[in-house]
Every structure is written in structure tokens, then in C-alpha cells.
Amino acid sequence: MEQYLTATILGVAFGAAARGLMLRSDYRQFPAFPHGFVTHLSLGFIAAVLGALAIPALWEKEFTAVTFLSLAATQFRDIREVERKTLTNLDKSNLVPRGPDYIEGIARVFEARNYLVMLIALVTSGISYLIAPWAGILAGLVMLAFSMSLMGGKVLSDIAIVRPGKIHFKGPNVFVDEIHFMNLAREEVRRMIMERGLGVIIEPKDDDARATLANNGQRMAIAHDAAIQLGIYKDVDTAEFTPLLRRNLDSGRIGLLIVPQEPDMDSLVEAVKRVPILESARSRPLQSRPGRKAAD
């Protein structure tokens, strides 16, 4: 009984610690503090308890543990749906929306992290119960390090070169370098863009990156993150100041035109470099034979 209790406590402790370490609120402000934290920490604790009880229960031939695990998997799948609906509703009030691809990626992360917590608790308690508590602690530390390594996904600077671009007009048409954005008839709007606007060019490093940047969801994510971090010189009735991204169809380069609240080019370039690569936007044409042949 003491061995069972020790293994369970270690599993719950490492699982809950992992969820706490993976839970953070950054410039995107999701989950919100404190209510969002309470919700996700509570679910993480439940996942840790279920994972910690699994191996000792199965070893003692308490097969109802499998039922609890399958029930938990169903509940965590529902979390993804809840997060998707919540973020979709919130996105309607954003001046620069995240877009459905960004929202889907966030919802997947919250679902997956509960499974990861369950796995950490399961491995920690299982090794502690079957071998020794010190072995369980060592396994828990290794799993914690593994979970933290999963926190950092690819960002835009991994697949593209981000550099400042020059805003200029040809008549009423606005360009960033050679990329045409739109026709602006109003003189005051053109003057404001020249005074406060910033342009960025995103150059894909290869054909895989070019295909990823062509995804509209990825471009919406770039506009949203840039607007959130630098602010946006825009209100609900000034659609002409909405951040825009356009693509050079020949080279695959992407241009960003934004009128930020804080017109700091270095900060804008850094913000764009740190935009996450969305799972739904990732494309790898170079992994196929026709894709490699077309690139040659």
C-alpha cells in the first residue's frame, strides 16, 4: 500500500508540475489570468491523477482504470472543441482577427498538453511502482525536460528572411518594394501611410517555405501578431489602415503593410520573426518527387 501511495503521489506531482510549467500567458493573453489558469490547472491535475493511477491499478489487476483513461480521453477531446468555440467568438471583436487556422492550432495545443500531462504522470508513477521511487523521480525529471522541449515550435525566422521594405506610391497605388497592395483614392490616407506606415518583406528560404507562406491562415497570423505587439492605428471605421499581406506571385515573397501605434521598424521585424508556423499551414512539396523535380 505504501509503495502504491508513493508512486501515485510522485506521478501526480510531476504531472501537475508539467502542466504548470507549460501554462503561460504571453502577449496573446490566452489563457486569461486568473480564471483561465484555474480551469487549465484543474484539468491538468485531473489528467495527472488519472495517469498516475493507471500503471499501479493495472498491475494490481484493477482493470477499471482503463475505463477511466478512455473517459478522460473523451473529455480532453471536448476541451479542444470548447477552446475553439471560445476563441472563435472572441475573434469577432478583434480589430485584426487571428483567423481560424491560428485558433485551431491553439485548441490542439490545449488538448495535446493534457495528454502529455497524463503520459508524464503515467511514466513517473509506473517506474516508481515497478522499480523504485528514486527511479520514478529520475524518469519524471526526464519527462519534464522533454515536455519543455516541445514548448518551442518553429517560428517564421526558421523558414524565411524578414527584412524592412520600402513603402512608396505610384499614383494612388501603394507598394512595399515591388509588391502592389491596393489603390488608395483619399489623399489624407496616403499621407498617413507615408508618415506612420511600415513595410516588411518576408523572403522564403526554399520552396517548402514558399508554399507555407502562401497559406492565407499563416498570413492572417502574421498580421494579428504584428498588430497585437506594436498596436494598430485603426478603429472599426478605418478599414484602410487594416494590416495587409500581399504575395509576389513570381518569387513567392510576402509583403506586409501596417500602420502601427508604435512605428518602430526593429520591433516590427522582430515581432514578425517570432510569429509561430501554424501546423495547418505547413507544406513540404520538396518531400515529393514531383516537388523536387519542379524546384530543380
CA distance linking residue 44 with residue 79, whole number of Å: 12
Q: How far does CA 276 lie from the centroid of its chain?
A: 6
pLDDT of residue 65: 64
pLDDT of residue 288: 62
CA distance linking residue 167 with residue 171, whole number of Å: 13
**pTM: predicted TM-score of the whole model, two decimal places:** 0.84
Which of the residues in the chain have pLDDT under 70? 1, 24-35, 63-66, 68-69, 72-73, 285-296
pLDDT of residue 277: 92
Q: Which runs of E-coded beta strand occur in 166-294?
A: 167-170, 173-176, 179-183, 198-204, 244-247, 254-258
What is each CA distance from 38 to 41, 42, 43, in whole angstroms? 5, 6, 9
